[in-house]
Amino acid sequence: MLTLPVFAWSRPKTVDEAMRVLAASPGECLIVAGGTDAVPNLKHRLHEPKRLVHLGGIEELRGIRVTDAGLEVGALVTLTELAAHPYVREHYAGVADAAEHVASPQIRNMGTVGGNLCLDTRCTYYNQTFFWREALGFCLKKDGTRCHVVPQGKRCVAAHSSDVAPVWIALGAQVEIATPGADGASGAVTRRLLPVEAFFVGDGVHNNVLVPGELVTRVLVPASSLGVRTAYRKLRPRAAIDFPMLSVAVAARGDASRIEALRVVVSALGAKPRTLGGLDAIAVGKPHDAALAEAVGAVAFKQCHPLSNVPYDTDWRHDMVPVFVKRAAPGALGVDA
Amino acid sequence: MLPAVTDIDAALAHPEWQVNEKAGEGNISKHVRLEFGDVDGALAAADHVVEGDYWYEGSTHAPLEPHCCVAEFDATGLLTVWSSTQVAHYLHRDLAKVLNLPTQRVRVIQPVVGGGFGGKSEPFSLEFAAAKLSMVTGRPVKILYTREEVFYAHRGRHPMRLRYRTGMNADGMIAGTDALVQLDGGAYSSFGLVTTYYSGQLLTAPYALPAYRFDSTRLFTNKPACGPKRGHGSVQPRFAFECQLDKLSERAGIDPIDVRRRNFIGERTKTVNGMRVTSNGFLECLDAVERESGWAGKFRRMPYGRGIGVAGSMYISGTNYCIYPNEMPQSAVQLRLDRSGRATVMSGCSDIGQGVESVLAYIVCEELGLDLRDVRVVAGDTDLTPVDLGAYSSRETFMVGNACLDAARHLRIKIAQTLAERWGVSPGEIVLADGVACATSDPAQFAISVKEAFQRAEARHGTLGSVGWYQSPKLGGEYRGGTIGASPAYSFTAHVAEVDCDPETGFVAVKHIWVAHDCGRALNPVTVEGQMEGSAYMGFGEALLETQRYKDAAPGHAFGLHQGPSLLDYRMPTSLDTPELHALIVESVDPEGPYGAKEAGEGPLHPSIPAIANAIYDALGVRCDALPFDPPSVARLLRGGDARANWERARAQVGGPR
C-alpha cells in the first residue's frame, strides 16, 4: 500500500501561532486543512515537507459572516457549509453550485474554501505515484526538468482545477492573505487583500502568489457585487468525484433583455483560470439571444486552448468550450437554461 | 533490447520482437480455428449480410480490496498462507510446486474477500514472494498490493479486435456467422488458452447458428497480462454479434426482439458446436424485458436523442474443464450433525462476496429442517475442508451446491430411516421442516424437534457425518477443444437498455436497464438480483466509461505506460451515473442444478454493452462499434456521418404507428 512520508506535525490555535511555525522552517512546511488533496499528494511524494501545519485548530478561520462590506468566508469553511449557506445560495448561487460540484459529499465535508483556492495544479504526468513518475522520467513540476505535455516547454502547464475559484474571479471576490513581518518570526503579522484573479499566476509549478510563510485566511465578496448573478458549468465524465475537464463560470448584471455586465471565466485549461477578453463590446447593452450566445461562444473557443495535461480528448474539450459557455450564460441572466 | 510491442498490429507485424519466449511462433500466444457447417455457402446464399469491425477496450476488475496475503512458515515446516484469492485449491497446488514443498505441508486459508470478479483467480507473485520471505526469515510476512500494482498484476478483460460477418434470410433467420478475433493478451498467458476458445465457443446459443466459424488469435504484447474477468472471453464477441443482429434486423425490417425469438435455439438441444443445452428460459427473458420496458411504445418511437435497445446472451454454469485433468470430484462437501441440533458444512468453496457460503446453509436447512442460524459453514481452508476448485466460471452454486445437496441427502435418509423404524411408518413419510421432524400420516402423534431427531439418529447410527461430491458428466463436442465451453447447464439473459443522449456533447445517459435472467431457480432471490444488478452495472461501466489505456507514443516518452493506474483516473460509474436497474428473475428449473439452479454471477453482464450500443443507434442514428461509448467518441460519430438521416430511415422502416 502507499504510505505517507515521515513528517513533523503542528496544530496551531491562532493565525499568529501558525505564522510563527511557518516562519520557523521557511519553505519546509505544508499547510493542511481538510487534507483531501494533500494526503493523496503526500502518498504520491508530490509534496515532501518536513512539517505539516494543520489549521484545524484555528477558530478565527471558521465561519461565514455577512457585513456591510460584504460576504466574508473563512478559509476553514467547508465546501459543504459554503454550498448550504442560505445567504450564499440566495445571492451567489454560482458559488454554492460550484462548491457542490467538488468531488463527493465526504470530500466536501472535509475540503475547505482555503484549500480549494490553493488546490495544487493537476496533470496526467504529475498526479501519479513516485514509481510511475520515475518510470517515465520526472517532469519540471516535480523532481525533473522537462515537460511531458509541451515538449521543449519551459513553463509548467498543469491545470488549475479548483471548481470554486472561477466563480470567485467572475464575481470579483478578494482573497485575504496573512503575511509575516519583515523580520520573519518576530515581526508583526499583517494581512493583505488582493483580487482572486490576481492570486493566480500562470506557472503550474506553483500557480499562486503565496510565498513561503504566507497563509490564506479569508475570501471576501464585496457588497458591491450584490445583484450580480453567477452560474457554473463543469465538464466531467462522471456526475461525481472527477476534477473538471473544463469549467466555466459566468457572472452577469442585467437580464435576458439587456445585459449590463458580463464576465466569463474558463478553467481546467492551463495553470490559471482564463477570463475571457473583449466581451464588453459584444455583450453590454445587448439582449441575450441566440446570436449573442454564438458570438460569446466563438470568443471562448478562440481564446481557450485545452492541453493534454488533462487526460481526456483535447479536441473534444475544445469543442465543448463554447457549448458550456452557452449553457452557463442563461443561469447568470436569470433564464432557465 | 527489443522495441516494445504495445498493440495487436505491432505484435503481428513484428514476430521478431518476441515478447514471450514461450510463444510457439512470433508473438502468437494461442490460435484456434473451428468451423461448424458450411459458412461460406450459407453467407453466399443469405438475403442480407452484414460485415463489420468492432473494438472492445479491455478493462480491469477493480475489486475494492487489492490483492493481499500473509504467509507464515512455522518451526514444524508448515507453510500457512492467508490470501484474498478466489482459488484456494489452485494456489495450494502451485505454492507447493513452486516452493518445492510437499502439498500436505501447505495450508491456504482464504478469509473474507473484498471482491474478485476473476481478478484473483490465479496465484500471484505476492503469494510466492511472501511465502518465500517467510521461509527465509522465519517470520510472518504480509504483502498488500497498491492499487497501481493491481493494475499491473491485471489479468483483466482482453482487448479484442473483432471482425464479424453474419448472414440473415428475409424471414429473419440467421444463416451463418464468420468471426475473426484478435486478442491483446499482454505479456503472459494467464488463462489465455481458455480465453481464446471462449471467444468463439460461447456464441452458439441462445440462437441457433446453422453455420459458424471462428478464427481467434491471442497475441503477446508488452503490457500487463490479461486474463479472466466476469464473463470470461465471451463478453467481447457477444457485443459484436448482438450489434450485428440489430443491424440485420433493420435490414430485414423486423423488430429486433422478434428476430431473437425466431432464432431461439430451444431447450433440450445441442448447439452447432456440440454443446448440450438443458433448460432454456430465453423466450421468457425476452418477454419480460419487452413487457417491463414498454418496448412496443418506445422502439423507433421516441424523440431524437432518446432510444432503446435489446440484446441477449448465454453463459456456462461451471466449466467441465479442470485446469489439471484428473478423475477426482470438482467439488466436495463434508457435513456433520450432532446432538446439539447444529449442522456444520465444510467446503473448499470460495466466498468472494457472491454468497456461496450462505447457499450451502440454505441447502442444509432445506434438507434437514434446520433454522438458518443453526448451520455453520467452514469454508476456504485447505486444512479443514475438502477440495473445491474455486470461484470461477460461475461454478460455485451449481457444483458445490450439488455436492452439498448430495451430502445433506445422505444424512436426511439416515434420520428418516431412524424415525421410520421407531414410528413404524415408511421413510418416505418423514418430513424435516421448520425445526420439526414428523410423519405425514399422523403428524399429531409422530412429531419431534429436529434436534431430538438428530439425537435418535446419532444413537442409532453413531456419530453423524456425510460427504457429498459433484463431478460433471462428460460433455462437449468430439473435436480438439470440444470440451472448452462445455457446461452441465447454461444460463440465458436478455437486456433492454434505455438511453437519453445529448447530441450536442455526445454524452450518453443510460436511464434504465431491464435485465431478465434465467438462473434456473433462484435459491436466494435477493442475492440473484444482486448479481444481476451488479453485472448490468459492470457492463454499463465498461460500455460508457472504463478505459484501460496506455499512453501512446505520440509525445515520444510515455510509450506503453498505463494512463492512470488509480481509481480516480480509471473511471467507474458512481451511483449518480448508474441507471435504474430492473432485475427480472426467470426460473426454468434445470434438471442438473441443485433444486434446478443455474448460474447468475456472470451471464447477466453480457448483453449490457450491445443493448446500450443498440439503444444509442435508436436514439441518435450512429453505430457505436468501438468501446467505450464516451462523449468524444459519440460526438465524433455524430459529426462523421448522416446520423439524422439514418435515424429517420430506421424510424420509417419499423416505427410507423401500430
- The average pLDDT across B8-31 equals 96
- The average pLDDT across B44-62 equals 97
**A128, closest residue in chain B (CA to CA):** B564
Is B239 a member of any domain? Answer: yes
Is B14 a member of any domain? Answer: yes
CB contact under 8 A, B568 and A148: no
**A135, closest residue in chain B (CA to CA):** B561
CB contact under 8 A, A312 and B632: yes
CB contact under 8 A, B563 and A311: yes
Q: Is the pLDDT of residue B141 over 50?
A: yes
**A320, closest residue in chain B (CA to CA):** B505
Burial B253-280 (b: 16+ CB within 10 A, else e): ebbbbebbbbbbbebeeebbbbbbbbbb
Q: Mutating which of A43, A126, A129 best tests the B interface, going by the most B Cβ atoms within 10 A?
A: A129
| β-pair partners for B510 | B499
SS3 of A218, please? Answer: strand
Angle between helices A314-332 and B631-640 (to 10 degrees): 100
Contact B558, B282 (CB under 8 A): no
Which residues fall within 8 angstroms of residue B420, CB to CB, at 6 or more apart?
B426, B427, B429, B430, B439
Q: Is A194 on the interface with B (CB under 8 A)?
A: no
- The average pLDDT across A105-131 equals 97
CB contact under 8 A, B571 and A323: no
Q: Measured between beta carbons, which residues in chain B are less than 8 angstroms from residue A301?
A: none
Least confident residue range of A322-336, B179-193, B196-210, B355-369: A322-336
| β-pair partners for B343 | B337, B375
**CATH code where residue B126 lies:** 3.30.365.10
Strand A215-222 vs strand A8-10: parallel, antiparallel, or unpaired? unpaired
Q: Measured between beta carbons, which residues in chain A are less than 8 angstroms from residue B506?
A: 316
Q: For residue B574, give the nearest of A148, A238, A319 by CB distance.
A: A238
Q: For residue B632, give the nearest of A149, A151, A313 by CB distance.
A: A313
Most distant CA atoms of chain A, gap in Å = 60
B94 and B116, same domain (yes or no): yes
Pull the grid cell for residue B351.
Answer: 466466498
| pLDDT interval class at B1 (50, 70, 90) | confident
Q: Measured between beta carbons, which residues in chain A are less than 8 angstroms from residue B144?
A: 1
Gap between the Cα atoms of A169 and B514, Å rounded: 46
Residue B203 half-sphere exposure toward CB, CA atoms < 13 A: 36
Q: Is B504 on the interface with A (CB under 8 A)?
A: yes
Q: For residue A242, give the nearest of B505, B571, B631 by CB distance.
A: B571
- The average pLDDT across B448-455 equals 98
Of B182, B179, B180, B178, the C-alpha closest to B158 is: B182
Question: Sign of torsion, CA B96 B101 B103 B107?
Answer: negative
Alpha helices, DSSP H, located in B323-400: 356-368
Q: For residue B573, give the nearest of A127, A148, A238 by CB distance.
A: A238
Instruction: Give B549 to chain A, closest Cα distance, Å.
Output: 11
Q: Measured between beta carbons, which residues in chain B are less than 8 angstroms from residue A337?
A: none
Domain containing B540 equals: 8-59+155-319+481-654
Contact B242, B607 (CB under 8 A): yes
| pLDDT interval class at A337 (50, 70, 90) | low
B104 and B37, same domain (yes or no): no
CB contact under 8 A, B574 and A124: no
**B508, closest residue in chain A (CA to CA):** A237
CB contact under 8 A, A124 and B562: no
Identify the pLDDT of residue A217.
Answer: 98
Is B476 a member of any domain? Answer: no
Q: Give tens-digit pLDDT for B604-650.
A: 999 999 999 999 999 999 999 999 999 999 999 999 889 999 999 99
Pull the grid cell for residue A160.
Answer: 488549475
Examine the fold and report which residue of B450, B470, B490 is the final residue of a domain before the chain moves on.
B470
Q: Mutating which of A39, A106, A157, A238 best tests the B interface, going by the most B Cβ atoms within 10 A?
A: A238
Q: Is B626 on the interface with A (CB under 8 A)?
A: no
Alpha carbon of A204 to those of A42, A156, B114, B133: distances in Å? 18, 5, 38, 43
Q: Is A135 on the interface with B (CB under 8 A)?
A: yes
Q: Is B15 on the interface with A (CB under 8 A)?
A: no
Q: Measured between beta carbons, which residues in chain B are less than 8 angstroms from residue A316?
A: 506, 631-632, 635-636
Q: Give tens-digit pLDDT for A30-69.
A: 999 999 999 999 999 999 999 999 999 999 999 999 999 9
List the end-to-end C-alpha distance of chain A, in Å, as a whole number.
46
- The average pLDDT across A74-102 equals 98
Examine the fold and report which residue of B96, B127, B146 is the final residue of a domain before the chain moves on.
B146
**A132, closest residue in chain B (CA to CA):** B561
Instruction: Give B542 to chain A, closest Cα distance, Å.
Output: 13
Which residues fall within 8 angstroms of residue B338, CB to CB, at 6 or more apart?
B454, B458, B463, B464
Is B231 a member of any domain? Answer: yes
CB contact under 8 A, B564 and A311: yes
| pLDDT interval class at A184 (50, 70, 90) | low
CB contact under 8 A, B574 and A240: yes
Q: Is the pLDDT of residue B422 over 80?
A: yes
B135 and B179, same domain (yes or no): no
Q: Measured between beta carbons, which residues in chain A are less than 8 angstroms from residue B631?
A: 237, 316
Is B1 a member of any domain? Answer: no
Pull the grid cell for residue A188.
Answer: 508583526
Alpha helices, DSSP H, located in A44-145: 79-84, 86-91, 93-100, 105-110, 113-117, 130-136
| pLDDT interval class at B321 (50, 70, 90) | confident
The DSSP-derived string for B593-634 is SGGG----SSGGGTTHHHHHHHHHHHHHS----BS---HHHH
- Residue tagged 447477466 (cell numbers): B604
What is the total count of domains within chain B? 3
Mean pLDDT of chain A: 95
The DSSP-derived string for A57-80 is G-GGG--EEEETTEEEEETT-BHH
B170 and B129, same domain (yes or no): no
Gap between the Cα atoms of B602 and B598, Å rounded: 11
Cis peptide before B565 (omega within 30 of 0): no
Percent of chain B at pLDDT above 90?
95
Residue B553 half-sphere exposure toward CB, CA atoms < 13 A: 6
| pLDDT interval class at B652 (50, 70, 90) | confident
Gap between the Cα atoms of B450 and B342, Å rounded: 10
The DSSP-derived string for A297-320 is HHHHHHH----TTSSS-HHHHHHH
Q: Which amino acid belongs to residue B273?
A: N
Angle, vertex CA A212, rays to CA A206 and CA A216, nearest 5 = 80
Instruction: Give A58 to chain B, closest Cα distance, Å.
Output: 31
Q: Measured between beta carbons, which residues in chain A are less than 8 angstroms from residue B568?
A: 127, 241-242
Gap between the Cα atoms of A236 and A238, Å rounded: 5
Is B259 a member of any domain? Answer: yes
Q: Is the pLDDT of residue B557 over 90?
A: no
Q: Mutating which of A37, A104, A139, A241 best tests the B interface, going by the most B Cβ atoms within 10 A?
A: A241
CB contact under 8 A, A124 and B630: no
The count of residues in chain A is: 337
B385 and B523, same domain (yes or no): no
Q: Is A312 on the interface with B (CB under 8 A)?
A: yes
Q: Is the pLDDT of residue B397 over 90?
A: yes
Q: Is the pLDDT of residue A112 over 60?
A: yes
Beta strands in B141-251 (DSSP E): 141-144, 160-168, 174-184, 212-219
Identify the pLDDT of residue B24.
Answer: 87
Q: Is B44 on the interface with A (CB under 8 A)?
A: no
Q: Which amino acid belongs to residue B421?
A: E
Gap between the Cα atoms of A326 and A324, Å rounded: 5
B55 and B85, same domain (yes or no): no
Most distant CA atoms of chain B, gap in Å = 87
B285 and B184, same domain (yes or no): yes
B201 and B230, same domain (yes or no): yes
Alpha carbon of B221 to those of B225, B538, B553, B564: distances in Å? 8, 26, 15, 19
Total Cβ atoms within 10 A of residue A283: 24
- The average pLDDT across B311-336 equals 94
Is B161 a member of any domain? Answer: yes
Q: Measured between beta carbons, which residues in chain B are less than 8 angstroms from residue A129?
A: 146, 148, 565
**B504, closest residue in chain A (CA to CA):** A323
Is B475 a member of any domain? Answer: no
CB contact under 8 A, B66 and A319: no
Identify the pLDDT of residue B654.
Answer: 66
Gap between the Cα atoms of B59 and B154, Å rounded: 9
Q: Please indicate whether residue B601 or residue B549 has the higher confidence score (pLDDT).
A: B601
B412 and B445, same domain (yes or no): yes
Q: Give tens-digit pLDDT for B327-350.
A: 999 999 999 999 999 999 999 999
B278 and B188, same domain (yes or no): yes
Q: Is the pLDDT of residue B657 over 50?
A: no
Q: Which amino acid belongs to residue B372?
A: L
Q: Is A308 on the interface with B (CB under 8 A)?
A: yes
B642 and B526, same domain (yes or no): yes
Radius of gyration of chain A (CA): 20
Alpha carbon of A73 to those of A16, A91, A239: distances in Å? 19, 14, 27
Interface A–B counts its CB contacts (< 8 A) at 74
Residue B441 main-chain phi, psi, to 5 deg: -70, -30
Q: Give tens-digit pLDDT for A150-171.
A: 988 899 999 999 999 999 999 9
Q: For residue A148, give the nearest of B558, B568, B630 by CB distance.
A: B558
B348 and B273, same domain (yes or no): no
Instruction: Give B600 to chain A, closest Cα distance, Å.
Output: 28
Examine the fold and report which residue of B444, B470, B496 is the final residue of a domain before the chain moves on.
B470
Q: For residue A148, give the nearest of B145, B555, B576 by CB distance.
A: B555
